[in-house]
């Protein structure tokens, strides 16, 4: 990665990945952990940026559309909202690094209702590397918004996961064929 590139680690929390998570994609999500840590370390080594857009909710929010679709998940201050596995420790060690920042998001896309686009443009970032969960939901919606805002996209196939194999393959095809994303496996 270069200084004009950023790695987004999307929603890699206990509720989305751990077996006991409220809305877990389970083993597929757990298997991508080493790749995510590797990409994060490589980004920092290259003086690039690592961003952690992370879903946050309050229980039974009558105004949030996901309340009707999913069980409560990623509730602020809970175990479920903490980063899964090694990412929690990695973030705690890197939290003060100016090239690492975590931020809340309340919609599928990391851009919706956040200052992500402004912060990327301030840093002259034009290429986004996406990893995390779920490939066909939050990673997808982030990618669509990034595409519409003119960012170059790189999807790390071994760094994204979702609930079903069909959803995974569909999203990867969509990234490549509809968004012009580069799909990489290393």
Name the domain count of the chain. 1
Asked if pLDDT for residue 126 goes beyond 90, the answer is yes
Q: Are 81 and 21 in contact (CB under 8 A)?
A: no
CATH number at residue 149: 3.40.50.850
Read off the pLDDT of each residue in 86-94 and give the average, rounded to a whole number: 98
* C-alpha dihedral, 75 to 79 to 82 to 83, nearest 10°: -120
Helix (H) or strand (E) run with residue 131 in it:
strand 127-133
149-167, pLDDT tens digit by residue?
999 999 999 999 999 999 9
What is the C-alpha to C-alpha distance for residues 146 and 111, in angstroms, rounded to an integer? 8
- For residue 141, what pLDDT is reported? 98
List, for residues 93-123, the tens digit of each pLDDT value.
999 999 999 999 999 999 999 999 999 999 9
The answer to whether residue 129 scores a pLDDT higher than 90 is yes
Q: Which residue range(s) make up the domain with 100? A: 5-184
pLDDT of residue 8 exceeding 90: yes
pLDDT of residue 64: 81
Supply the mean pLDDT for the chain: 96
Confidence of residue 61 (pLDDT cuts 50, 70, 90): confident
Query: β-strand 152-161 against 127-133: which pairing, if any?
Result: parallel
pLDDT at residue 53, as a whole number:
98
pLDDT value at 3 more than 90: no
Kindly tell me if the per-residue pLDDT of 2 is higher than 90.
no
Mean per-residue pLDDT, 8-26 = 97
Cα distance between residue 139 and residue 160, in whole Å = 8
């Amino acid at each position: 990665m270069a200084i004009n590139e950023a790695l987004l680690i999307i929603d890699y929390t206990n509720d989305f990945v751990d077996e006991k998570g409220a809305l877990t994609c389970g083993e597929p999500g757990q298997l991508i952990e080493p790749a995510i840590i590797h990409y994060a370390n490589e980004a920092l080594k290259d003086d690039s940026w690592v961003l952690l857009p992370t879903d946050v909710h309050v229980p039974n929010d009558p105004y949030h559309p996901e309340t009707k679709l999913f069980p409560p998940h990623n509730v602020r201050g809970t175990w479920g909202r903490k980063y899964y596995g090694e990412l929690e420790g990695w973030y705690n060690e890197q939290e003060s690094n100016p090239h690492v920042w975590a931020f809340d998001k309340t919609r599928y896309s990391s851009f919706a209702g956040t200052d992500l686009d402004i912060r990327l443009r301030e840093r002259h970032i034009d290429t986004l590397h996406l990893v995390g969960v779920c490939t066909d939901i939050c990673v997808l919606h982030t990618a669509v918004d990034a595409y519409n805002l003119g960012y170059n996209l790189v999807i790390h196939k071994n760094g994204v996961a979702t609930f079903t194999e069909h959803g995974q393959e569909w999203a990867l095809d969509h990234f490549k064929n509809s968004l012009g994303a580069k799909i990489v496996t290393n």
